[in-house]
């Protein structure tokens, strides 16, 4: 299944890369690798990840405190957010509506 990021998710992903780039540049490549592995898992079997509200699901990174919030469509998986796990949950809950 194809995985597509919304423009908002792309901006969030870029912001994470920028933050790690200034704080710990060596980690950027690891974050990208884990992101790629997680999106492959989404493409292979998106239903392995739990629903967190309505049709919105969350796939957590293994080594980073981030998650991909997504919806499953008939032909693709739509990632609507790449968010820090410590963020106020109301931020991603608004996207569940």
CATH number at residue 35: 3.30.2310.20
The domain tally of the chain equals 1
pTM, two decimals, is 0.87
In tens digits, the chain (97 residues) has pLDDT values of 999 999 999 999 999 999 999 999 999 999 999 999 999 999 999 999 999 989 999 999 999 999 999 999 999 999 999 998 765 555 555 655 5
Q: Measured between alpha carbons, how far is 28 from 18 in angstroms, rounded to an integer?
A: 9
Q: Is 31 helix (H, G, I), strand (E, B) or coil?
A: helix
How confident is the model at residue 70, as a pLDDT? 96
Length of the chain: 97
| Residue range of the domain that includes 75 | 2-96
């Amino acid at each position: 299944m194809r995985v597509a990021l919304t423009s908002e998710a792309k901006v969030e992903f870029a912001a994470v890369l920028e933050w790690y780039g200034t704080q710990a540049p060596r980690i950027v490549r690891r974050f990208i690798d884990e992101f790629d592995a997680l999106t492959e898992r989404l493409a292979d079997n998106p239903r392995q990840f739990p629903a967190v509200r309505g049709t919105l699901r969350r796939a957590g990174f293994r080594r980073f405190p981030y998650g991909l919030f997504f919806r499953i469509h008939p032909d693709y998986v739509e990632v609507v957010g790449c968010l820090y796990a410590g963020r106020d949950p109301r931020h991603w809950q608004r996207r569940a509506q």
